[in-house]
Amino acid sequence: MKIIEGIENLAQKFRHPVLTIGNFDGVHLGHQEIFRLLKERAKEKNGTSIVLTFEPHPLRVIAPERAPKLLSTFTDKANLINASGIDIIIFANFTAGFAHIRAEDFVRDFLVNAIRVKEIFIGSNYHFGRGRKGDAGYLKELGREYGFTVTIVNEITINDVPVSSSKIRTLIAKGKVDEASELLGRNYSMEGIVIEGAKRGKSLLNTPTANISALNDLFPKDGVYAVTVEINGKTYGGAANIGYNPTFNVKKLSFEVHVLDFEGNLLGKILKIKFIKRLRDEIKFTRIEDLAAQMQKDIQTVRKILSL
Per-residue pLDDT tens over the stretch 233-256: 999 999 999 998 877 777 789 999
The span from the CA of 277 to the CA of 177, in Å, is 6
pLDDT single digits (tens) 6-63: 887 687 899 999 999 999 999 999 999 999 999 999 999 999 999 999 999 999 999 9
Supply the pLDDT for residue 170: 98
Which architecture, in CATH terms, is 187-306?
A: Beta Barrel (2.40)
- Give start-end residues of each CATH 3.40.50.620 domain in the chain: 2-162
Name residues whose C-beta falls within 8 Å of residue 144's C-beta, 6 or more positions apart in sequence. none
Residue % of the chain over a pLDDT of 70? 97
The span from the CA of 255 to the CA of 2, in Å, is 34
The span from the CA of 118 to the CA of 14, in Å, is 10
Which architecture, in CATH terms, is 2-162?
A: 3-Layer(aba) Sandwich (3.40)
pTM: 0.92
Say if residue 63 is exposed, middle or buried (CB neighbours under 10 Å; 0-12, 13-18, 19+). Answer: exposed
pLDDT at 198 over 80: no
Assign 133 a pLDDT band (cuts: 50, 70, 90).
confident
The span from the CA of 144 to the CA of 153, in Å, is 18
Q: Is 246 helix (H, G, I), strand (E, B) or coil?
A: helix
Name residues whose C-beta falls within 8 Å of residue 233's C-beta, 6 or more positions apart in sequence. none
For the segment 117-146, the average pLDDT, to the nearest whole number, is 93
- Give start-end residues of each CATH 2.40.30.30 domain in the chain: 187-306
pLDDT at 197 over 80: no
